[in-house]
Structure 1
Amino acid sequence: MQTLKRLSFFLALSLIFWTCTPKTGQKTTETAPQPPTPPAVEEPAKVENTAENDGIIEVIFLQINDVYEIAPLQGGKVGGVARLATLYQQLKEENPNTLFVLSGDFLSPSLLGTLKYQGNRIKGRQMVEALNAAGLQVAIFGNHEFDLKEGELQARLNESGFMWVATNVRHMVNGKPEPFYKEVGGEKRQLPTAFIWEVRDADGTTANIGLFGVTINSNPKDWVYYSDPFQAAQDAAAKLEPVANVVVGLTHLELVQDLKLAGMLPQVPLLMGGHDHDNSIDTVGSVIVAKADANAKTAYVHRMKINTHTGEVFLRSELVPVTAAIPDDPGVKGIVDKWQRIQDEIIGQVVDDPYAVVYHTDVPLDGRESSIRNGQTNLGAFIAAAMANAAKKPVDGAIFNSGGVRIDDQLQGDILAIDWFRVLPFGGQLWEIDIRGSLLQKVLDIGQENKGTGGYLQWHDIQPGPGGWLIKGQPLEPDHVYHIILNDFLLSGHETGLGFFTEEHPDVLKVDKPASGEDARYDVRKAVIMWSRRF
């Protein structure tokens, strides 16, 4: 099990540094260590080479990012936190100086997170418990961590046995940015803005490895403050360099931002990134920028050799598929199975066989937020077509808000019934309405104005034309009454810019709601599953 040691500070240093020193040969079986109390401010000890060591030390980073599911996906073929736990143990056996890191996005979104258990939404509890047991050591915030409410995020921080690094993210308290914290034994411990991982090998060579973590500011909340990630990373690296043999970064940024940052930090050999969901590896000068696939379909293993005499760093990065070839860790699998039973019991109330294959696609169905909240995607079109198919009488079109799609990923290959619950975890009913054309036009216009947010609309048999909206290929007529099917939330008045759009509006002339669970309109996921089975 990793233990954490205090690292002393420069008097002028504004960063909070923690050190992490692994014990050779000791395995993590339950949780990663709790961070220590922030250390006192004093002069840092320098790394000295002695006659006992050769000045060469090797370390390993196990990197994952954007992990929303604890169980394997695609019928058990890929992913799974229990497999990650085994991979981590295998790497530790190869080299005890192994650091297991997560580059943001894991508390949300997920199907399990939206379900209620013991009276409360789960909201990432399953992720923290499983990752604690798997031995995760360091995580940073992703944009989706702030999907949670303020109190929910605090609860997850308190439960986490791993360290969080927050270089450019602060907690707004009474209008003032302060460090986030986690409570340990009733004590509030501030999250560090950076830390030093202190390592030693068998021949006595020691090294200090500095690490910072920056997050994209794409999920604004009034209780979250983001400083500029580029300046924050530069400042952190500059303050780490005097006390570290090498500095590396964890990032949750868009790839173009990562590449820009790499150009700004030529002395940082490795940026371990997240936010993008497809694996990539790029080189900017001598800086490696690496991202694994979302949901732990793959993990990056970075083997680094440091020459403490010359300062040279040698890096070899390997993308490792996380498949059934890696056995499950029994302890972590027990935790995963527990949460899966909870999930299946709840979903079983809607669909009989959650793990039945209901559809197959060789073309990825795009549910990534960067896509579906900015334009029409094939996944959005599929869902809207399923809604139209579920209607009791022919409709002129179907609309729904893209924020209902929470998978932030692509679907490909065999699609299981439960996958549609992952795509649409909030569910909700489908309502058929008679709506005057003038109101429909206003709703569609605002949907377009909501581009970039969950209020952007996906549709079926509706499209913008050069002279205005087209309904079934014909220009929208303001005085005409259209028969439309939509999700119930969209008619609640709670969507961005659509506070007026409720069933009480005088231009909503009729609302037809499902009467029972036998009606496919009773749950949008049921309607999509029925549509999927037609192909």
Structure 2
Amino acid sequence: MSNKDVNAHTSMSRRSLLLGSAAIATSAAFSPMLTFRANAAPMAGELQLVPATPNPNGIIDKLFLLKGDPLSGPIKTIVAEDGSPVPAPVLQEGERRVLRVLHFNDMHNHITDLHGKKGDTHRLAQMVKLVKEARTNAAENEAVLFVSAGDDHTGSIFDELMGWSPEEFVADASYRAYSAAGVEIAALGNHEFDRGAELLKKGKDTDATFPLLSANVHSSGYMKRDEDYTAAAVADINGLRVGLIGLTTNIDTRVGQPNDPTLAVDRPVTALSNLLPAVSEISDVVVILSHCGYGIGQHKSGKAATARDIGDGDFAIAKIAGELSEKPIVVVGGHTHTKLNESGIDENNLKDGVLITQALAHGKFLGDIAISIAAHQGRKDWYNSVSLHPIKASDKRVASDDPKYPSLQQEGDWDASFEDTVVGPLLKQLDSKLAETIGMVEADTLGREVTIASRYIGESALGNFMNDAVVARSETFPGGKVDFALFNATGLSAGVEKGPLSFKAWYDVMPYADAIHVATMTGAQLRDMLNNNAVRLLRPEEAKDVDLNGFVSRGFLHFSSGIRYEIALGADAKSAKAVNITLNGQPIEEVLDKKFTLAINSYIAFGAYGETWNGKPISGGVAGDIPSFDLRKLDYDHTGLVYRNEVIAFIREQKVITEANGAKLDGRLAVKA
């Protein structure tokens, strides 16, 4: 766009929009004043439009970051940083453009999935091939944008390249690969912060050549708004102005970590309400990258096998967006791992003309939105198509004459150059870590099938082994040996089979980045916690209708062998009780005032977010608004140790996993009618 064009369009219509919705009880008028004020920091109520360098492997012509505080109040003014006029929307009267948004969410570092028997699935390299083809074949009036809706970390062996401190850092595998793949923008998801904001910043600074967005994350001691991420961005692409806003779930982000105590996440709808009118006024179309989850409040979709608490989800976001702007708006979602609009637009995913979509997770689909936009037509007849492109899984054992063969990954389905030159070097750095044998599994009680089937409904042999391993390892803890340990059922992501156990196989069991915090609790507090845990059990009458492969986000906990109890189911969840409790062999009634130490993984110690060990009503489909036990209020010793690393250290010491060293059911939990 020329300077002449910019100057011709800096005088914009000033219209007032009423901010308001059922979700929030605030309202304000927005009348944009597009102006400039050279070399001044943005003030309250304004954003500063700052030129930035687009990803050189992408297709953005001009990129601007919108800097300022979107949480201080409604944004009324947009100013330029350098004294130049603030650009107006690009689309000219009578023109039409097509914006094609290719998107993914919740990749969780599944850049390439490794499998010895089936072969490696080149997930991102398949996407790269599809994106390159879309950009090569794009029409003259078409712009092809490639974006991530967050949770790009935590979930595969590639996470280990991040290390656990800046000194251990090797690479941010996801951001390095995305930069080479031509990703233009990524939202900050909750799992970006699992290893701490200091490491996230290190990864961003080292490997990201694209901007990160979140309008509602704030106050980190390491990730600084307007330096490391911004609330929003504006991209000029082939004659079209695209506004982009990032939102992060305020339910499941790990705030309150000792090394970054001020990190906070405000409500997404607050940030969006303050920000959207201003962004939409200078854009032809707005893309909201929402890592907040599909639905609103208690909702079941995607990875959730029962309803979970998502707070201000995409239903609320789309509703507010539709009220605040008449411009074309799409909500590219994430967080809940939901598959939406696989074969076209589902009318349930249109809220006041605002489209909500999401592409499952782990790189299993590439989302595709094609939007035909006419100047000054708002949301009238603006959708062309919405779909999901399946990313093919590898299974080299399947013969070419098998009916399944065409649906599986074959030579030519992925960008081989990208895989060889970008992913290959990352894998080489992981070779020794992946292949390392950390022990032998001799017990046959820890397989995936039995682990997944048991983790929500009763005692788990794998959970028993992990918790007992942490108690044994606690002899080396700075504060000395603990009495007990716990771990949440949703953290048991896989099982292990008999035979040699590799580092990768154990990583698949517990891929999440949990530190160990040691709480001091009285017997009475432990009793109350166990009673609260009894309510969370997936009851027999429920289990028959629930896909146990999904997440039952109730926060059900497994314990080490020193805690033994029964769950009396009662007539319903509200009447379920923990009975016949003993702590280290003593009846609970005799030790109510005695103090014990309990090793807790950080996810649970921080209140378990959407799985509610934080005083809020228990979620995951438990009826009756039953308050949860608030584990955040306990006194903790923050060890700085990593739960998974301590279990691995125990396996190395023992050399074998057997029933004798904990891999068994021993009756520590019994479920009674």
The two structures have a TM-score, normalised by structure 2, of 0.55
Residue 424 (1) aligns with residue 462 (2): no
C-alpha distance in 1 between matches for 2:220 and 2:91: 41
Residue 275 (1) aligns with residue 335 (2): yes
C-alpha distance in 1 between matches for 2:384 and 2:51: 22
Q: Structure 1 residues 252 and 384, CA, compared in 2 at 3 Å: closer, same or farther?
A: same
Residue 66 (1) aligns with residue 106 (2): yes
Deviation at 1:471, TM superposition (A): 6.4
Q: Which amino acid aligns with 2:390?
A: P
2:288 match: secondary structure: strand
Q: Gapped runs of 5+ residues in structure 2?
A: 1-5, 11-32, 37-44, 67-80, 297-312, 342-348, 393-408, 471-482, 515-520, 537-551, 569-575, 592-596, 606-631, 640-649, 665-673
**Contact 1:166 1:193 (C-alpha < 8 Å) held by counterparts:** yes
C-alpha distance in 1 between matches for 2:293 and 2:458: 22
Deviation at 1:360, TM superposition (A): 6.1
Q: Structure 1 residues 284 and 479, CA, compared in 2 at 3 Å: closer, same or farther?
A: closer
**Contact 2:60 2:235 (C-alpha < 8 Å) held by counterparts:** no
The counterpart of 1:457, out of the listed 532, 547, 557, is 557
**Contact 1:85 1:332 (C-alpha < 8 Å) held by counterparts:** no
C-alpha distance in 1 between matches for 2:60 and 2:488: 34
Q: How does 1:341-420 map to 2 (within 5 A)?
A: 341-351=428-438, 361=449, 377=456, 381=460, 383-384=462-463, 401-402=486-487, 418-420=504-506
Question: Which residue does 1:331 correspond to in 2?
Answer: 418
Residue 303 (1) aligns with residue 382 (2): no
C-alpha distance in 1 between matches for 2:219 and 2:638: 34
C-alpha distance in 2 between matches for 1:157 and 1:11: 31
C-alpha distance in 2 between matches for 1:88 and 1:207: 19
C-alpha distance in 1 between matches for 2:114 and 2:432: 18
Deviation at 1:330, TM superposition (A): 1.8
2:315 match: secondary structure: helix
Question: Which residue does 2:352 correspond to in 1?
Answer: 285
Q: Structure 1 residues 499 and 384, CA, compared in 2 at 3 Å: closer, same or farther?
A: same
The counterpart of 1:91, out of the listed 114, 134, 144, is 134
Residue 135 (1) aligns with residue 182 (2): yes
C-alpha distance in 1 between matches for 2:92 and 2:513: 61
Residue 169 (1) aligns with residue 217 (2): yes
2:587 match: secondary structure: coil
C-alpha distance in 1 between matches for 2:529 and 2:577: 17
Q: Structure 1 residues 390 and 411, CA, compared in 2 at 3 Å: closer, same or farther?
A: closer
Q: Which amino acid aligns with 1:49?
A: Q
C-alpha distance in 2 between matches for 1:112 and 1:448: 39
Question: Which residue does 1:320 correspond to in 2?
Answer: 389
C-alpha distance in 2 between matches for 1:491 and 1:316: 44
Q: Which amino acid aligns with 2:34?
A: F
Question: Which residue does 2:234 correspond to in 1?
Answer: 196
Deviation at 1:166, TM superposition (A): 2.1
Question: Which residue does 2:319 correspond to in 1?
Answer: 263
Deviation at 1:244, TM superposition (A): 1.5
**Contact 1:86 1:328 (C-alpha < 8 Å) held by counterparts:** yes
Deviation at 1:303, TM superposition (A): 0.9
Deviation at 1:77, TM superposition (A): 6.9
Q: Structure 1 residues 233 and 172, CA, compared in 2 at 3 Å: closer, same or farther?
A: same
Question: Which residue does 1:14 correspond to in 2?
Answer: 46
Deviation at 1:224, TM superposition (A): 2.1
Question: Which residue does 1:213 correspond to in 2?
Answer: 246
Report how many aligned residue pairs link the two structures.
Answer: 457
- RMSD, aligned CA: 5.2
Q: Structure 1 residues 103 and 17, CA, compared in 2 at 3 Å: closer, same or farther?
A: farther
How high is the sequence identity, in percent, across the aligned residues?
A: 18
Q: Which amino acid aligns with 1:140?
A: A
Deviation at 1:111, TM superposition (A): 3.6
Q: Which amino acid aligns with 1:211?
A: L
Q: Which amino acid aligns with 1:100?
A: F
Q: Structure 1 residues 518 and 113, CA, compared in 2 at 3 Å: closer, same or farther?
A: same
Deviation at 1:239, TM superposition (A): 0.4
**Contact 1:20 1:198 (C-alpha < 8 Å) held by counterparts:** no
Whichever structure has more strand as a proportion of its residues is: 1
**Contact 2:65 2:230 (C-alpha < 8 Å) held by counterparts:** no
> What do the CA deviations read for 1:240-278 (whole angstroms, capped 9, x no partner)?
222222222110112222112212222453100110113
C-alpha distance in 2 between matches for 1:64 and 1:361: 29
Which range moves more in the overlay, 330-339 or 235-244? 330-339
Question: Which residue does 2:268 correspond to in 1?
Answer: 229
Question: Which residue does 1:238 correspond to in 2?
Answer: 277
**Contact 1:114 1:121 (C-alpha < 8 Å) held by counterparts:** no
C-alpha distance in 2 between matches for 1:48 and 1:515: 63
C-alpha distance in 2 between matches for 1:500 and 1:165: 34
The two structures have a TM-score, normalised by structure 1, of 0.68
Q: Which amino acid aligns with 2:96?
A: I
Deviation at 1:468, TM superposition (A): 3.1
C-alpha distance in 2 between matches for 1:488 and 1:43: 57
1:49 match: secondary structure: coil
Q: Gapped runs of 5+ residues in structure 1?
A: 1-5, 183-190, 201-205, 367-375, 392-397, 429-437, 482-486, 503-512, 529-535
